[in-house]
């Protein structure tokens, strides 16, 4: 009986482990990837093709410049130096992306999300209020806020795909590093995505969705366009 039980269990386990119904997809590397029925089309996933390994050099795995301010983001009060596969080719296929941000006093990195990555933040200098929102399992009309005040040397992790904020509540510039476990984490600013879409979302839809009138919607469009 024990041998029969072993054989039966082994057969069922083998079927489950090899059944196509239990297969899974890799995480997406880009926002959209539309299929095309064209044998002449080039195949791009994340827009990169691998270099011949014989041609690789140490410089492909090197970046210099994270000690200086980066590119200014107009109107938002922060500068960022982002290191992706375009700046460090050796990152290709490794599932990594990182950046250095300087946030001016009393300025906010707006509510946003990264659809393909968890983010780990390390504060190098200053004081940072940070938090993320998790849907409330008991009431899907509400959410739970997980937040902390971070100082130099503190670390905070933001789970993949959740809306979050970074706010410099201090009187000096805050500098922090962000590490992502995706080659292409994505960056979705919530307000701009909604009020500055192209083509625009219907005023009626926005007015009903946010319980505002069309005049208020027009003001928000102007602010976030």
105-135: pLDDT as tens digits: 999 998 999 999 999 999 999 999 999 999 9
- For the chain, the structural domain boundaries read 1-186
> Cα(21)–Cα(12) distance, rounded to whole angstroms?
14
Of the candidates 16, 19, 187, 182, the one whose C-alpha atom is nearest the C-alpha of residue 101 is 187
13 pLDDT band (50/70/90 cuts)? low
75 pLDDT band (50/70/90 cuts)? confident
Mean pLDDT on 75-90: 89
> Cα(189)–Cα(130) distance, rounded to whole angstroms?
16
Which pairs count as long-range contacts for 47-54, CB under 8 Å and 24+ apart, including other chains?
48/85, 48/92, 50/92, 50/93, 51/89
Name the 3-class secondary structure at 207: helix
102 labelled binding-site residue: no
Measured torsion, CA atoms of residues 58, 61, 66, 67, in degrees rounded to the nearest 10: -30
Q: What single-letter DSSP state applies at residue 1?
A: -
CA distances from 147 to 39, 129, 150, 163, 164 (A): 50, 7, 9, 12, 9
> Cα(39)–Cα(9) distance, rounded to whole angstroms?
45
pLDDT digits 0-9 by tens, 171-183: 999 999 999 999 9
Total length of the chain:
225
Residue with tokens 């064209």: 38
164 labelled binding-site residue: yes
Q: Output the six-digit token pair for 29.
A: 């590397």
Q: Regarding the domain delimited by 1-186, which CATH topology (the fold level of the hierarchy) does it fall under?
A: Jelly Rolls (2.60.120)
By the 8 A CB rule, do 187 and 114 touch? yes
66 labelled binding-site residue: no
142 pLDDT band (50/70/90 cuts)? very high
> Cα(122)–Cα(157) distance, rounded to whole angstroms?
9
> Cα(189)–Cα(199) distance, rounded to whole angstroms?
17
Q: What pLDDT score was predicted for residue 20? A: 54
> Cα(34)–Cα(62) distance, rounded to whole angstroms?
33
């Amino acid at each position: 009986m024990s041998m029969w039980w072993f054989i039966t269990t082994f057969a069922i386990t083998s079927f489950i482990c090899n059944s196509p119904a239990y297969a899974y997809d890799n995480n997406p590397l880009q926002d959209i990837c539309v299929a095309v029925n064209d044998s002449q089309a080039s195949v791009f996933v994340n827009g990169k093709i691998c270099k011949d390994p014989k041609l690789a050099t140490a410089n492909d795995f090197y970046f210099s410049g994270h000690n200086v301010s980066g590119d200014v983001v107009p109107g938002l009060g922060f500068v960022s130096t982002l290191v992706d596969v375009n700046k460090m080719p050796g990152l290709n296929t490794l599932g990594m992306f990182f950046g250095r941000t300087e946030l001016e006093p009393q300025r906010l990195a707006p509510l946003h999300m990264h659809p393909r990555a968890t983010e780990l933040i390390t504060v190098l200098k200053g004081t940072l209020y940070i938090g993320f929102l998790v849907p409330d399992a008991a009431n899907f009309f509400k959410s739970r806020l997980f937040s902390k005040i971070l100082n130099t040397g503190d670390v905070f992790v933001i789970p993949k795909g959740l809306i979050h904020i970074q706010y410099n509540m201090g009187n000096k510039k805050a500098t922090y590093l962000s590490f992502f476990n995706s080659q292409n984490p994505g960056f979705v600013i919530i307000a701009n995505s909604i009020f500055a879409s192209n083509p625009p979302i219907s005023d009626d839809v926005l007015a009903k969705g946010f319980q505002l009138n069309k005049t208020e919607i027009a003001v928000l469009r102007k602010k976030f366009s």
